[in-house]
Every structure is written in structure tokens, then in C-alpha cells.
């Protein structure tokens, strides 16, 4: 009889990023170290971890070519220093158009090598009138969309990549196929997060019968944008195992392959698909 597989610890970092890239990189390095010290072998940073600018166009000013620049250097160094798999939130990579970026997740292995790149496919567009005025976002003004679903193999299994607004499109997760873990770096607004964040995350875990870890921005930023936070780790049954409502910090979770196999065996929904 084979011995039970040991759980693998993963972690989501929650931040309240600022307009200073240097300050954000220092904060991320500190929280990555906290996650690694807590036993995490894979760490996820939030969307826009490196910059929450005063203007949407600020991200264009700090964009980097693939393989070069202080943001990528910092991520590479952290993965290598702690010997972890690092899902680097998102960073602005150079796009073909001079006035836009690609909102990109890069994944680094424990040797500091890039093993996966995902360019955000679905771009957030939201407008709502409130008592405080008009709340409005349109990522397409400064971001060029990607077009390809991406996953990678970690020691505990397949990991699917997605970013923030992607969460509303279940067909992306189906396209990723059967995965052990789906990751969701995000900067959900306080408005949309309160309404839909946990609901959507739990739905993605249940319908794909996998673990989900979501790393969020969580507070009021210097540009006055309010993000919802609630970084969390969810198991394949849809139960929230850990959550951080607001502020900086780290959320931990354990990938238990024995439990994953049991959940899929008890309710083999993935094998019942006909379309």
C-alpha cells in the first residue's frame, strides 16, 4: 500500500500597493519572506503588487521588457533566495503599442527561472453612479489583452493561471483543464468584491473540483481607490479554509492530494461532462 502524500503549503500575499515601485518591492519581499518562513513552497502576489499609480497611465511609465528590469529582478531574487515557486502577481510588460502594457503574471521556480507567463485576457470595465459620485474603470485604455490560457506544473500538480476579472469567465478555467490549484492574483474593487468575490472564487473551486488561492489588494490606496482584500484559500468542496479581510499580510493553505482525490472520487462530476 502506498503511503499518504504529505500536504504542500501555499500562501497568498495581501498588499495595499502605493505609487512607489521601490516601496512596493520592499513590502513584497518582506511578505514573501514571511510566507516562506511559514513553510509555503508556492507564494502568490496580488495584481498590481508593484504599482498602484495615481493615474492609470503610470503603469506605462514603468513597463519592462520581458527578462529585464527591477521588478522582474526582485521577483527572481526572491524565488531564488527562499527556494520557492513564486507567482509574481502582475507586472506591466511592454506591449506593441507605446501607450499600453500587458498585465502579466510571471511564474518563477526555486532556481529563479521563469517557467510560465500569462497575459491577462479579460479587461475590467465598470461604471456605477453612487452617492459619492461616479466609480469608473476601463483597463483597455492602458492594457492590451492576452489571448492564451496558461498553466504550469508544480511539484504537487498542475496550476492554472488567471487574473482578477478573469474570475467572471468560467470558460477560461475549463480551458485550463483539470488542475490541482487555480491561482487568482487580483485587485477587486470594494464595490464588486463585496458583491461577488467570495461567491465567484468558491464557484470556480466547486465546478473545477480543485483548490483555489486568491491574492488580493486589500485597503484604501494613495490614489483613493478602495480594494476589497479578502485573500483566501478554498478547498475542492468550496469551503473557505483561510481568509484575510483587510490590510497587509499572508494567508496560508495546504494542498492535500489525498483529499483532492477523495473529493473527486466521491462526486466524479468532471467525468460526467458531456459538452
Catalytic amino acids? Answer: 47, 120, 164
Using CB atoms within 10 Å of the CB of residue 133, give its burial: 0 to 12 exposed, 13 to 18 middle, 19+ buried. Answer: exposed
Asked if residues 7 and 42 have their Cβ atoms less than 8 Å apart, the reply is no
d(Cα 159, Cα 171) in Å, to the nearest integer? 16
- Locate 11 and state its grid cell: 500562501
Cα atoms found within 13 Å of the Cα of residue 139, Cβ hemisphere only = 23
CA dist., res. 58 & res. 28, Å (int)? 19
At residue 274, the 3 state secondary structure works out as coil
Tell me whether residue 204 is exposed, middle or buried, using C-beta atoms within 10 angstroms of its C-beta: 0 to 12, 13 to 18, 19 or more.
buried
CA–CA separation, 58 and 56 (whole Å)? 6
| 44 vs 185: CA distance, rounded Å | 7
30 exposure class (CB count in 10 Å sphere: 0-12, 13-18, 19+):
exposed
Helices (H), the chain: 21-37, 58-61, 70-82, 170-176, 190-192, 198-208, 257-266
Amino acid at each position: 500500500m502506498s503511503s499518504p502524500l504529505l500536504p504542500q503549503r501555499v500562501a497568498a500575499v495581501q498588499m495595499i500597493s502605493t505609487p512607489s515601485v521601490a516601496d512596493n518591492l520592499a513590502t513584497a519581499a518582506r511578505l514573501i519572506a514571511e510566507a516562506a518562513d511559514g513553510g509555503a513552497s508556492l507564494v502568490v502576489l496580488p495584481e498590481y503588487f508593484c504599482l498602484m499609480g495615481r493615474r492609470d497611465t503610470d503603469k506605462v511609465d514603468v513597463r519592462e521588457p520581458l527578462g529585464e528590469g527591477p521588478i522582474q529582478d526582485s521577483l527572481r531574487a526572491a524565488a531564488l533566495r527562499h527556494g520557492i515557486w513564486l507567482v509574481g502577481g502582475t507586472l506591466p510588460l511592454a506591449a506593441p503599442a507605446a501607450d499600453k502594457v500587458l498585465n502579466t503574471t510571471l511564474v518563477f521556480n526555486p532556481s529563479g527561472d521563469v517557467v510560465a507567463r500569462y497575459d491577462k485576457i479579460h479587461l475590467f470595465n465598470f461604471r456605477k453612479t453612487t452617492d459619492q459620485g461616479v466609480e469608473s474603470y476601463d483597463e483597455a485604455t492602458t492594457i492590451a489583452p492576452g489571448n492564451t490560457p496558461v498553466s504550469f506544473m508544480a511539484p504537487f500538480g498542475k496550476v492554472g493561471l488567471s487574473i482578477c476579472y478573469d474570475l467572471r469567465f468560467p470558460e477560461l478555467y475549463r480551458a485550463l483543464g483539470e488542475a490541482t490549484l487555480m491561482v487568482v492574483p487580483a485587485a477587486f474593487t470594494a464595490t464588486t468584491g463585496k458583491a461577488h468575490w467570495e461567491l465567484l472564487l468558491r464557484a470556480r473551486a466547486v465546478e473545477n473540483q480543485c483548490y483555489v488561492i486568491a491574492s488580493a489588494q486589500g485597503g484604501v490606496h494613495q490614489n483613493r481607490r478602495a480594494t476589497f482584500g479578502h485573500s483566501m484559500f478554498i478547498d475542492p468542496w468550496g469551503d473557505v479554509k483561510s481568509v484575510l479581510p483587510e490590510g497587509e499580510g499572508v494567508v496560508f493553505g495546504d494542498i492535500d492530494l489525498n483529499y483532492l482525490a477523495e473529493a473527486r472520487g466521491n462526486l466524479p462530476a468532471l467525468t460526467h461532462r458531456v459538452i
